[in-house]
Structure 1
């Protein structure tokens, strides 16, 4: 059953996911440029005392790395649901 409310809700969730994915990607790219390396390299560099970064910043970097695929999966699912809803409404 298709209603405008369902479509509005799906669109709202899809837009939220787009925002979070975009923000998270930007944050990861910013860190990679700032430190000149990816997360795994940064962890090794910290262990070898070659990189000075706060534990909080490193934890946030890790959180973003782990969260991005989950948010991308949600985004994909909302896109599929919305596309299915639009096809079934026709």
Structure 2
């Protein structure tokens, strides 16, 4: 839990869930965060509740082929999100 405390008590940055959907996979990680930050987060992924386990390194989740990915972060988390491939 040390990196979580470091992030919220000793750092002024708001962690950002960075993500990109490509070829049936959701790639995601924590950006704007202290090294080792690994807070699990609940998201709504195309209408389904999913708990992601992001770290500061890229993670992958197979989600299958969809026309457009809709990801919404649970508003109870003090984080932001950013789609790296958004137009």
TM interval, short-chain normalised = under 0.3
What is the TM-score when the length of structure 1 is the normalising length?
Answer: 0.22
What is the TM-score when the length of structure 2 is the normalising length?
Answer: 0.22
Q: Which has the higher contact order (CA 8 A, sep 6+)?
A: 1
